[in-house]
């Protein structure tokens, strides 16, 4: 059961191609497991189409028709292989796979970031504003208390945590900004793996956590 979803602003911006690559990727990963947001996105797109139909006609550039016809005549892109191979990345808890949206992204091996905690870097060649991480945190472990200089998006792949604001489980999506100071604590019983997209930096409260964060570049 998914309780936390991207807002309509995120879904509309994704549909319009206006999200930064890292943000688009996290919303896409959410859509892979959330039928409610897929339906919502389709509804929003239908509304957008209806608004376009109602819009006043505008004069097009002279070459627009020729360009459109050219596109229609050009051969379609090659069809996707029917059985795509699983996304390659470091080991995940049993039964969990890397989301298909990460296809084509280079995922590093797991690196130590504290007792029971690992991180992997996910390379996004087109991303200019942020960094993408996978975090694996063991049962009962917690990330140091931190705020954010700009924005952090989180998508839970497995396991669950609470951070004082709410509880987050598999499939949940979260947005935090400079107003949020939180400490995610993983529930007992299962390891939690999240994708985290960070614009700016995390601002850790403790000195050691700050040093580790700085060393990792988070």
Name the minimum Å distance from CB 209 to Zn ion: 31
Residue closer to Zn ion, measured from CB, 5 or 118: 5
Residue closer to Zn ion, measured from CB, 40 or 201: 40
CB atoms within 10 A of CB 150: 13
Residue closer to Zn ion, measured from CB, 131 or 155: 155
Binding residues for Zn ion (CB under 5 A): 5, 34, 37
Name the minimum Å distance from CB 200 to Zn ion: 25
Q: What angle, 0 to 180 degrees and rounded to 10, lies between the N-to-C axes of helices 21-33 and 8-15? A: 110
Name the minimum Å distance from CB 154 to Zn ion: 13
Residue closer to Zn ion, measured from CB, 5 or 141: 5
Name the minimum Å distance from CB 45 to Zn ion: 15
* Largest interatomic CA distance in the chain: 64
* 120 in Cβ contact with 174 (< 8 Å): no
Task: List, in sequence order, the alpha helices (H) in the chain.
Answer: 8-15, 21-33, 35-54, 64-73, 207-216
Residue closer to Zn ion, measured from CB, 133 or 173: 173
Name the minimum Å distance from CB 156 to Zn ion: 12
The residues pairing with 136 across neighbouring beta strands, listed in sequence order, are 118, 193
* 28 in Cβ contact with 14 (< 8 Å): yes
């Amino acid at each position: 059961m998914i309780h936390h979803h991207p807002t309509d602003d995120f879904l509309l911006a994704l549909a319009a191609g206006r999200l930064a690559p890292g943000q688009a990727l996290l919303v896409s990963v959410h859509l892979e497991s959330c039928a409610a947001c897929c339906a919502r996105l389709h509804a929003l797109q239908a509304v957008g189409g209806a608004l376009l139909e109602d819009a006043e006609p505008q004069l097009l550039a002279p070459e627009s028709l020729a360009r459109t016809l050219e596109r229609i005549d050009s051969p379609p892109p090659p069809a996707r292989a029917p059985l795509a191979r699983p996304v390659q990345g470091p080991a995940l808890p049993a039964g969990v796979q890397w989301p298909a949206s990460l296809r084509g992204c280079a995922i590093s091996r797991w690196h130590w970031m504290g007792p029971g905690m690992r991180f992997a870097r996910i390379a996004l060649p087109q991303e200019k504003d942020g960094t993408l991480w996978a975090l694996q945190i063991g049962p009962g472990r917690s990330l140091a208390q931190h705020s954010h200089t700009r924005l952090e998006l989180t998508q839970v792949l497995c396991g669950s945590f609470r951070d004082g604001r709410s509880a987050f489980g598999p499939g949940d999506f979260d947005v935090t900004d400079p107003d949020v100071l939180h400490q995610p604590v993983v529930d007992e019983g299962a390891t939690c793996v999240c994708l985290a997209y960070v614009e700016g930096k995390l601002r850790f409260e403790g000195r050691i956590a700050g040093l580790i964060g700085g060393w990792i570049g988070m």
